[in-house]
Amino acid sequence: MAELTPRKQQILATIIELYVATGEPVGSKAICSEMGNSVSSATIRNDMSDLVEIGLLEQPHTSAGRIPSQAGYRYYVDNLMTTYELGIEEQERIKIWLQSFSGEPDKLLEKAGAILAELTDCVAVSSSPSDSEAFIKRIELVPLSNHTAMIVLLATSGILKSAVVRSDTEINVDIAEVFYNITQSYFVGKNVSDITLTFIQTLVASLGDRVFIMSPFLCAISDLCEAVKTTELHLKGQSNILNHPELSDDAFRLMDFLHRGTPLESLLTSQKAPLNVAIGTENSYRELKNSTTIFSKYAVGDKDAGSIGIIGPTRLDYAKLIPSIKYLAGIIGSFLSETLDEE
């Protein structure tokens, strides 16, 4: 593609920003007004025709105005966009919304997704931290009643998992002490991938009379280790798809795509860059050919742990959404890292 002149760049940016704001094709008179009438309508129309010719603009059949093509959005994001920075008040508001969930990764991601879906009117998607190389940092037994308890497992990657277990035996101080001694001796410090069924069976065989008391708890720990290794997806705002007329023809396919799970998980885990913006056919799945995906990775400590972002129409306020998603990802990583450091 030939390099655009500054005037054509300004016209393209103006058309995109007006179209994002109004959803209506943009004509030469509107552009002329936005440019302070410094260029004639005839000149603008000629430049618009050139932008259509090279594939950055499209002309709807029923309108004299122009709309951006997917290539036009890409050029804008890569070359023309001036990003919007969140104000201090907005940053503090997001922190306050999320702070009470900072110690619970799954709830934190669910809340962050709900905020993102509401702010963007798009589908918010996030992946929980997962790490098959993580080690068990801590295991706690929290009695809930005489026969039920919650087991909480914290991994070195910052992943926190919990499960409620019922025991036929009363959960008293002696049971809690036995549990503590077993977990300290056999689990804490081990890689979660080492806690296999064979490992549990071998351990159970060595417990003697304690086997019937400890079996439910050990099975729960095994399940929690498996959960640490597994990526969980959080979806919020699926119905927002219906708010965008340009997605009406794709709504059913998009809904099906979101609920199939595996393709969506693959989409998030395949993200290589810290921030990934894929517009229309740049997405690897045909269900997303008319959609934009924006995903930002978050890190726990110094290691990538998961992603959060949106799926929406190509007509998006990229300048505002991209920095907002990056900021949200940074806050999630910061909260999860703090939780790990506190333990």
Range of weakest confidence among 99-113, 182-196, 220-234, 239-253: 99-113
pLDDT at 63 over 90: no
The mean pLDDT value for 20-31 works out to: 92
The predicted structure's pLDDT at residue 288? 94
pLDDT at 209 over 90: no
In angstroms, the CA 249 to CA 51 distance is: 27
Q: What six digits make up the tokens of 74?
A: 């890409």
pLDDT band at 1 (very low <50, low <70, confident <90, very high): low
Given this model, what pLDDT does residue 187 score?
Answer: 95
> At CB < 8 A and 24+ separation, what contacts does 42-45 make?
44/11
Compute, in degrees rounded to 10, the torsion defined by CA atoms 84, 85, 90, 94: 100
Q: How far apart are alpha carbons 81 and 273 in whole angstroms? A: 19
Query: Does residue 48 contact residue 72 with C-beta atoms inside 8 Å?
Result: no
Average pLDDT over residues 88-111: 86
50/304: higher pLDDT: 50
pLDDT at 235: 93
- The more confident residue out of 329 and 102 is 329
* Residue of 327, 321, 296, 343 whose CA lies nearest to 127: 296
Task: Tell which wins on pLDDT, 235 or 260.
Answer: 235
pLDDT class of 156 with cuts at 50, 70, 90: confident
Q: Sorting pLDDT into bands at 50, 70 and 90, what band is 229?
A: confident
Residue 147: what pLDDT? 93
Contacts of 228 (CB under 8 A, 6+ apart): 130, 131, 134, 153, 155, 157, 159, 161, 192
Task: Compute the radius of gyration of the chain from its Cα atoms.
Answer: 26
What residue ranges define each of the domains in the chain, with the CATH number in brackets?
A: 6-80 (1.10.10.10), 88-130+231-342 (3.30.450.40), 136-229 (3.30.390.60)
Regarding pTM above 0.75, the answer is: yes
Our CA angle for 159, 156, 109, nearest 5°, is 20
pLDDT band, very low/low/confident/very high, at 340 (cuts 50, 70, 90): low
pLDDT value, residue 223:
93
What integer pLDDT is reported at residue 207 of this predicted model? Answer: 82
Sign of the dihedral through C-alpha 97, 101, 102, 107: negative
Q: Can you give the pLDDT at residue 179?
A: 93
Which residues, at least 6 apart from 320, have a Cβ–Cβ distance to it below 8 Å? 83, 84
Does residue 343 have a pLDDT over 70? Answer: no
Contact 147, 164 (CB under 8 A): no
CA distances from 332 to 60, 107, 192, 264 (A): 41, 11, 23, 20
What are the distances in angstroms from CA 218 to CA 9, 164, 206, 230, 250?
A: 63, 12, 13, 19, 46
Per the listing, tokens 């104000």 go with: 87
pLDDT score of 219 more than 70 = yes
Contact between residue 127 and residue 332 where contact means Cβ atoms under 8 Å apart: no
| 44 Cβ contact list (under 8 Å, min separation 6) | 11, 28, 31, 32, 35
pLDDT at 99: 86
User: Of the candidates 62, 120, 157, 125, which has an alpha carbon nearest to the alpha carbon of residue 324?
Assistant: 120
Phi, psi of 189 (to 5 degrees): 95, -10
* Amino acid in the structure at residue 195: I
Tokens found for residue 24: 């209506």
